[in-house]
Chain A
């Protein structure tokens, strides 16, 4: 299996004051087709790790390779290009744009790819159907339930066919039943070949994931079943 993501000796120190070592020499490799849960207590450095994985931030130390490219060699513009083509983010608070439809929100995920409007819309509809929202295309975010909103956000992450989807506590605002549905959606998408990394502090939810890693004080360890 080829590695989509390869982190070696990655550290991140927030300058402070006082300085915070959020990541402390993390080594991890994510292979194509992986479905990984990152668990760990609040403040352990999970979000920081996810931002590093998604080229949203740069490490203080260590190397990060995405698709075999060391991101330290890339300019800020190139990093943006990398994100637009290879990465899909999902956030705890969905971060949808109010006032535009589900389809428009998903199409927004292709905005910086230079595609035409009709093509963006066509692909957005396909992505919404993939997450089971084919019947909610023209709904506005405030007309959708929490679970549905998160599905829209997941569709937005998927719409550009990224090499990897990174989700930061996607079920943090959802009840346990809806959370289970979202986890089920991730498993289904993964079965279709999408590489997914999900942060959660819901251990029960994580137990259904084939691979789990645990973060504690900026260090990472594989959880062996």
Chain B
């Protein structure tokens, strides 16, 4: 003669308990839903953002160095020698070197516009392998080659093209550089870590030398090195390119900016997750509170159940399941809401959606765990009510 409660019946019992107090259930579950939604959305958004960031980092590579003439410790700029690129290429782990030189020329849409209206656009002379070394992409047309670098042709950076009001190559646009019309043969895609090139128009060294007397002394040099030796290469470059004034050479790693953004993103994500966790904690306390009230209100029900044969364990499990389902409902709602926010955000920012399914499952499990912890004390309290007391008026 043992009491026995089927598992399905205990679940249905919990469901009935919640269903008979709809408003209270919804309000209490909302707390959990908000906490879970916040965490899922933050994780989802940062995962989506980071997926793109990592893809960008991966694409651009972290083994690229930029070398520029610095202001030096005495505050005076000094030119980098014309042989700098060749000498840098001789450093053993260096794989590729390319360079650009800022010209004094200014670019305009046509000859009716004043020479002073440069719109912050620089005219750069560049080696033919610039886009190869930078792993840049063309949105339109092609880059300068051996032939086109000899003649007035130009490739526009993304920002420069927009400022000049050029969106495509049909009909073939021309721009006015100093007093020569250049044919636009290509437009570059945006370049996340090379904003200076985005704001430039690029021409070949031969035509630059011919029209603007530009030398091959680089204003920027881009160096790809074997990844493991990147720091060593960065260290020896200054003395290599300018033995007399190594301090006047600045070496930077453009991908550092992305790395820094990644770190900042992660810090922010952790902060927001912390806030979500606090929300969950508060919601858990609210559930415990509601369950305690529920136990007090349902003394009679507890008494009747004990009278018809429920054990203490049956009473305990009933309230525990109720508490877990209450939190679980909130968890599922929060998960759906959080995923929806993530998808919406990713869509609005053109990010790849990266909502990890394990994360979603985990969020519901977390809600259930909160429900279990929050429900434990009320459930034990309910089970300890002496049955004879509970059936007294």
Instruction: Give A contacts to B, CB under 8 Å.
Output: 47-48, 51, 54, 56-57, 76-78, 80-87, 89, 91-93, 95, 97-100, 108-109, 111-114, 116-117, 156, 160, 168
A-B contact pairs, 20 of them (CB 8 A): A76-B312, A77-B2, A77-B3, A77-B312, A77-B313, A80-B309, A81-B311, A83-B307, A83-B308, A84-B309, A95-B303, A97-B304, A98-B20, A100-B16, A111-B305, A112-B310, A112-B311, A116-B6, A156-B308, A168-B391
CB closest chain-A residue, reference B12: A117
CB closest chain-A residue, reference B20: A99
Contact A112 to B1, CB < 8 A, known contacts A47-B392, A54-B307: no
- The CA-CA distance from A160 to B1 in the complex, in Å, is 12
Contact A56 to B391, CB < 8 A, known contacts A77-B311, A109-B308: yes
CB closest chain-B residue, reference A156: B308
Q: What A residues does B4 contact at CB under 8 A?
A: 112-114
Q: What A residues does B1 contact at CB under 8 A?
A: 78, 81-82, 84-86
A112 touches B314 (CB 8 A): yes
CB closest chain-B residue, reference A153: B304
CB closest chain-B residue, reference A97: B301
B138 to chain A, nearest CB (A): 70
- The CA-CA distance from A76 to B306 in the complex, in Å, is 11
Q: Is B349 an interface residue (CB 8 A)?
A: no
B393 touches A81 (CB 8 A): no
CB closest chain-A residue, reference B311: A80
Q: Is B388 an interface residue (CB 8 A)?
A: yes
Name the prevailing secondary structure of the A interface residues. mixed
B392 touches A112 (CB 8 A): no
Our pick among B13, B300, B310 for the contact of A80 (Cβ within 8 Å) is: B310
B388 touches A57 (CB 8 A): yes
Interface-central residue, A57, A98, A111, by most chain B CB under 10 Å: A111
B3 touches A89 (CB 8 A): no
Q: What B residues does A56 contact at CB under 8 A?
A: 306-307, 387-388, 391
Q: Is B5 an interface residue (CB 8 A)?
A: yes
Contact A51 to B313, CB < 8 A, known contacts A81-B2, A156-B308: no
Q: Is B386 an interface residue (CB 8 A)?
A: yes
Q: Is B9 an interface residue (CB 8 A)?
A: yes
A195 to chain B, nearest CB (A): 17
**11 more A-B contacts (CB under 8 A) besides A80-B311, A108-B308?**
A47-B392, A77-B312, A80-B312, A80-B314, A83-B307, A84-B1, A85-B1, A89-B308, A109-B308, A112-B308, A160-B309
- The CA-CA distance from A26 to B386 in the complex, in Å, is 22
B309 to chain A, nearest CB (A): 2
A84 to chain B, nearest CB (A): 2
A198 to chain B, nearest CB (A): 16
Our pick among A54, A84, A92 for the contact of B3 (Cβ within 8 Å) is: A84
Q: What A residues does B300 contact at CB under 8 A?
A: 93, 95
CB closest chain-A residue, reference B314: A112
Instruction: Give B contacts to A, CB under 8 Å.
Output: 1-6, 9, 13, 16, 20, 300-301, 303-314, 386-388, 391-393
Q: What A residues does B13 contact at CB under 8 A?
A: 111
Top-8 shortest CB links A-B: A84-B309, A114-B4, A57-B388, A112-B309, A80-B311, A51-B388, A81-B2, A112-B3
Interface-central residue, B307, B310, B312, B393, by most chain A CB under 10 Å: B307
Our pick among A81, A91, A114, A160 for the contact of B391 (Cβ within 8 Å) is: A91
Q: What A residues does B311 contact at CB under 8 A?
A: 76-77, 80-81, 112
A27 to chain B, nearest CB (A): 21
Q: What A residues does B303 contact at CB under 8 A?
A: 95
CB closest chain-B residue, reference A98: B20
- The CA-CA distance from A112 to B304 in the complex, in Å, is 12
- The CA-CA distance from A95 to B392 in the complex, in Å, is 11
Q: What A residues does B16 contact at CB under 8 A?
A: 100
Q: What B residues does A99 contact at CB under 8 A?
A: 20
A111 touches B5 (CB 8 A): yes
B295 to chain A, nearest CB (A): 16
Contact A95 to B5, CB < 8 A, known contacts A111-B308, A113-B309: no
Q: What A residues does B9 contact at CB under 8 A?
A: 111, 117
B230 to chain A, nearest CB (A): 70
Q: What A residues does B392 contact at CB under 8 A?
A: 47
B19 to chain A, nearest CB (A): 8
Contact A92 to B393, CB < 8 A, known contacts A85-B1, A100-B16: yes
- The CA-CA distance from A113 to B301 in the complex, in Å, is 18
A81 touches B3 (CB 8 A): yes
A114 touches B309 (CB 8 A): no
B392 to chain A, nearest CB (A): 7
Q: What A residues does B2 contact at CB under 8 A?
A: 77-78, 81
Q: What B residues does A89 contact at CB under 8 A?
A: 304, 307-308, 391
Q: What B residues does A82 contact at CB under 8 A?
A: 1
A148 to chain B, nearest CB (A): 18
A84 touches B391 (CB 8 A): no
Our pick among A85, A86, A97, A114 for the contact of B6 (Cβ within 8 Å) is: A114
A91 to chain B, nearest CB (A): 6
Interface-central residue, A82, A93, A95, A168, by most chain B CB under 10 Å: A95
- The CA-CA distance from A83 to B20 in the complex, in Å, is 27
